[in-house]
């Protein structure tokens, strides 16, 4: 077997609408086709690829499962993202990746999943 690429991440949600608002309105993913599962959720797309599945309607785990620390997305419009996060009062941390000079922004979704947004090095330094 050879890995061909990443298919998707799945996050659990205690509030589907809040999760969709975060990933769609703030991060810019688009909701698209999702098979008719018996539980609530959403499939969110970047272009034609469903890259994030949200599962709702079940109890949140008492303790974190597994060892995944965060999910990372390639992004653009650093200043626009920062402006939106500030407007929504979502805390974030921003730094440049030494050696590559890419911008890395970290924040959390409504249920605490850590999200990394990676911006190209040529994005201008944002007003914070």
pLDDT in tens, the chain (128 residues): 876 778 899 999 999 999 999 999 999 999 999 999 999 999 999 999 999 999 998 887 777 666 677 899 999 999 999 999 999 999 999 999 888 899 999 999 999 999 999 999 999 999 97
Sole residue written with tokens 């050696």: 99
pLDDT for the residue 64: 67
Report yes or no on whether pTM surpasses 0.85: yes
With b for 16 or more beta-carbon neighbours within 10 A and e for fewer, the 75-85 pattern comes to: beebeebbeeb
pLDDT of residue 126: 93
- Closest to 23 measured CA to CA, from 35, 36, 13: 13
**CA end-to-end span of the chain, whole Å?**
46
Cβ burial of 25 (10 Å; 0-12, 13-18, 19+) is exposed
Pairing relation of β-strands 71-74 and 49-55? Answer: unpaired
């Amino acid at each position: 077997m050879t890995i061909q690429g990443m298919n998707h991440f799945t996050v659990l949600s205690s509030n589907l609408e809040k999760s969709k608002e975060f990933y769609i309105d703030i991060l810019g993913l688009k909701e698209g086709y999702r098979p008719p599962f018996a539980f609530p959720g959403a499939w969110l797309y970047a272009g034609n690829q469903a890259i994030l599945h949200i599962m709702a309607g079940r109890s949140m785990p008492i303790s974190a499962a597994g060892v995944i620390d965060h999910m990372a997305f390639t992004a653009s419009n650093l200043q626009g993202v920062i402006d939106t996060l500030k407007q929504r009062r979502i805390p974030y941390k921003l730094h440049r990746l030494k050696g590559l000079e890419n911008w890395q922004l970290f924040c959390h979704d409504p249920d605490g999943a850590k999200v990394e947004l990676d911006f190209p090095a040529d994005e201008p330094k944002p007003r914070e």
